[in-house]
């Protein structure tokens, strides 16, 4: 196992902090740096694993800072944006329709409709009327010009 340069180590730590799997990180290192690393070597840079118990403070701090930023800055991830997802679904539906794959097109259109209807959010709509109407709120009617002493005019 060859010693890795600091920029490779930083890339590994940051990828792991962003919840990439060790096998994804192995592929990333191969693609970006042209280096072959093992799963065990990558795992040794994940402070949440026992194998990384002797990981230096510098790398633990980088991992924790990266993970915190990753969890807080969801807006930096394009697919977290509703408009981005809808554009992507539109492109896929157009392509599927062009390929005459109408089943897939219908599924994509349905998914886009759910996206527009907030089916993929945790928003809740509250209906104050029960299904049989027995618990519906009572209407209060105010009459202008009358006296409010409870007696007759």
Could you report the per-residue pLDDT of 138-147, keeping only the tens digit for each? 666 666 655 5
* DSSP character at residue 5: P
Could you report the per-residue pLDDT of 100-149, keeping only the tens digit for each? 999 999 999 999 998 888 666 566 666 566 666 666 666 666 666 555 55
Its pTM surpasses 0.75? no
Helices (H), the chain: 6-17, 22-33, 39-43, 57-72, 82-98, 102-116
Token code pair at residue 116: 């527009």
């Amino acid at each position: 196992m060859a010693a890795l340069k600091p920029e490779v180590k930083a890339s590994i730590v940051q990828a792991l902090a962003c919840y990439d799997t060790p096998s994804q990180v192995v592929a990333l290192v191969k693609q970006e740096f042209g280096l072959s690393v093992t799963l065990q070597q990558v795992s040794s840079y994940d402070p949440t694993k026992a194998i990384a118990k002797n990981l230096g403070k510098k790398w633990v701090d980088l991992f924790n800072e990266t993970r915190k930023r990753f969890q807080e800055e969801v807006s930096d991830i394009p697919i977290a944006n509703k408009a981005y997802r809808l554009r992507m679904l539109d492109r896929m539906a157009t392509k599927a329709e062009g390929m005459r794959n109408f089943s897939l097109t219908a599924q994509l259109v349905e998914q886009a409709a759910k996206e527009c209807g907030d089916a993929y959010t945790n928003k809740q709509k509250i209906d104050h009327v029960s299904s049989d109407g027995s618990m519906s709120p009572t209407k209060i009617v105010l009459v202008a010009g009358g006296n409010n002493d409870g007696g007759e005019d």
